[in-house]
Amino acid sequence: MLLNQILKLKNNFEAIGIANTFINWFEFFSGYMSEELDDFQIFVKPIGAKCNLHCSYCYYLNKENLYASESYKTLPEDILEEYIIQHFEASSGTDVFFSWHGGEPLLAGIEFYRKAIELQNKHKPESFTVYNGIQTNGILLNDKWCRFLAGNDFYVGISLDGPAEFHNAFRVYRDGRSSFDKALEGYRLLQQYNIRNEILCVVSSVNVRKPLEIYRFFKSLGVRFLTFLPLVIRDISKPGQVSDISVPAEEFGQFLCKIFDEWVLEDIGRIKIQIVEEAIRPAFGQEHSLCIFKKICGRVPVVELNGDFYSCDHFVDHEHLVGNIMKQSVSDLLNSDKQKNFGMAKLITLPEYCRQCDVREMCNGECPKNRFVTAPGGEPGLNYLCAGYRMFFRHVKPFAEAVGAEWRRRNR
Ligand code: SF4
Ligand code: SF4
């Protein structure tokens, strides 16, 4: 049955059933992440850009040179402790989330995270609750790691780009060996140890034409949280062009629509797809949780190996170095003019084409890093992925409006 047919039948039992299942599920999952946690998230890099894989599409690998001259290879304890103290001080709520990223953050070793937890417990105000999340390629996951992660209630994001043929197209070791088997083994271990996890799947020109094959593969693994990340690598030698492996914009939209259609009929209440949740948030009067869809960004900075604080994971360069946490507090850096201007630029530079767009509140022009094409009419600064987002958000809109209306009716 087509989604639109379901939604047009307002008194159709199935439509109401779908809406109710969705609302219950949405309220359950979105409440925790959006309302109670702070409005900032810091990507901490305990080993900088160092990684045990050499994925050909990685945007962070070349940052390894930034701190090559430092005598240490892991975030030193004094910087770690200072960071933890400052993160608590900067938090306005009592639920505090620490996000460990890389490179491959498991390379820092279990003892590093044991120390981090010890320091969190030492400095945590009594009423605070601490959460830890880590983003990994899964290669190092073993029983020892999983006992530790489960024992300390970590959330784990793991990168898998679909079945082996798609995953291995880019996600390889330095010598070109494929990494799929190890990554899948890591994912299975996370499940075995009941560790809360999310699969992050990069969508490129290689896997974009196989939406259902990829989605069903993840379903067969028993995934509950799923994020699709479009691969966009700008070709700076050709204006408005991207590399061959980048996802074509319209095909990305088709990919998402196909998955949404299956999800809405089969998987509501079982699987959370991040971009679907984001698309529906405005209908519930909720702010986006993902920076790329917010009106204003700048609340997801990076703290690198030596305490350097950058505006965003996609802008770790000299121009976007805001300061160092050993000289200024996290709170001051977050609220500095430089950081605020960075975030505000997302709104200020939004093209008129986006301002007039019927799905603007779902999209908000997505991430400024992808705004390098020309809008119809010649206006510069349109997002490369626009055609895909427009297609997907328009596709989801009837559903979002239907469940939003049902939710408002219930809460009258
Ligand atoms: S530049 Fe993009 S990724 Fe960075 S904070 Fe802004 S929206 Fe998010
Ligand atoms: S769909 Fe396109 S026009 Fe609409 S807000 Fe997004 S990028 Fe702008």
State if residue 359 touches ligand 2 by the CB under 6 angstroms criterion. Answer: yes
Q: How far is the CA of 391 from the centre of ligand 2 (A)?
A: 10
**Among 3, 29, 16, which Cα is nearest to 281's?**
29
* pLDDT band at 18; cut points 50, 70, 90: low
Question: Amino acid letter at 156?
Answer: V
Average pLDDT, the chain: 92
State if residue 373 touches ligand 2 by the CB under 6 angstroms criterion. Answer: no
3 state SS of 44: strand
Decide: 273 and 261 in contact? Cβ < 8 Å: no
* pLDDT band at 406; cut points 50, 70, 90: confident
Q: How far is the CA of 389 from the centre of ligand 2 (A)?
A: 7
Ligand 2 atom index nearest CA of 351: 8
Ligand nearest to the CA of 367: 1
State if residue 288 touches ligand 1 by the CB under 6 angstroms criterion. Answer: no
Ligand 2 atom index nearest CA of 385: 7
Mutate to test the pocket of ligand 1, among 288, 295, 297 (most ligand atoms within 8 A of CB): 297
Query: Where do runs of H (alpha helix) occur along 233-273?
Result: 249-266
* pTM of the predicted model as reported, rounded to 2 decimal places: 0.92
State if residue 360 touches ligand 2 by the CB under 6 angstroms criterion. Answer: yes
> In a 10 Å sphere around its CB, with 0-12 CB exposed, 13-18 middle and 19+ buried, how is residue 141 labelled?
buried
**Candidates 38, 95, 261, 313; catalytic one:** 313
Strands (E), 219-325: 225-230, 272-273, 302-303, 308-310, 321-324
- Which are the contacts of 292, defined by CB distance < 8 A and separation ≥ 6? 366, 367
Q: What is the pLDDT of residue 14?
A: 54
* pLDDT band at 10; cut points 50, 70, 90: very low
Instruction: Name the least confident of 1-15, 81-95, 101-115, 119-133.
Output: 1-15
| 234: Cα separation from own chain's centroid | 20
Report the pLDDT averaged over residues 117-126.
97
Ligand nearest to the CA of 299: 1
State if residue 294 touches ligand 1 by the CB under 6 angstroms criterion. Answer: no
Tens of pLDDT, residue by residue over 377-405, are 999 999 999 999 999 999 999 999 999 99
Q: How far is the CA of 364 from the centre of ligand 2 (A)?
A: 6
Q: What is the pLDDT of residue 32?
A: 37
3 state SS of 136: strand
CA–CA distance, 75 with 82 (Å, rounded to integer): 11
Q: How far is the CA of 369 from the centre of ligand 1 (A)?
A: 7
Active site annotation includes 153: no
42 pLDDT exceeds 80? yes
Tens of pLDDT, residue by residue over 46-65, are 999 999 999 999 999 888 88
State if residue 302 touches ligand 1 by the CB under 6 angstroms criterion. Answer: no
**Among 363, 385, 382, which Cα is nearest to 372's?**
382
Q: How far is the CA of 396 from the centre of ligand 2 (A)?
A: 14
* pLDDT band at 33; cut points 50, 70, 90: very low
State if residue 279 touches ligand 2 by the CB under 6 angstroms criterion. Answer: no
Ligand 2 atom index nearest CA of 364: 5
Q: What is the pLDDT of residue 86?
A: 98
Q: What is the pLDDT of residue 15?
A: 55
Report the pLDDT averaged over residues 5-32.
54
139 pLDDT exceeds 70? yes
Tens of pLDDT, residue by residue over 230-268, are 999 999 898 899 999 999 999 999 999 999 999 999 999
194 pLDDT exceeds 80? yes
Q: What is the pLDDT of residue 71?
A: 81
Q: What is the pLDDT of residue 218?
A: 98
State if residue 292 touches ligand 1 by the CB under 6 angstroms criterion. Answer: yes
* pLDDT band at 154; cut points 50, 70, 90: very high
Say what percent of the chain tops pLDDT 70.
Answer: 91
Q: What is the pLDDT of residue 28?
A: 54
Mutate to test the pocket of ligand 2, among 256, 383, 394 (most ligand atoms within 8 A of CB): 383
Q: What is the pLDDT of residue 128?
A: 96
Biggest CA-to-CA distance, the chain = 68
Q: What is the pLDDT of residue 19?
A: 65
Report the pLDDT averaged over residues 356-372.
98
Strands (E), 359-402: none
State if residue 390 touches ligand 2 by the CB under 6 angstroms criterion. Answer: yes
Q: How far is the CA of 315 from the centre of ligand 1 (A)?
A: 8
State if residue 363 touches ligand 2 by the CB under 6 angstroms criterion. Answer: yes
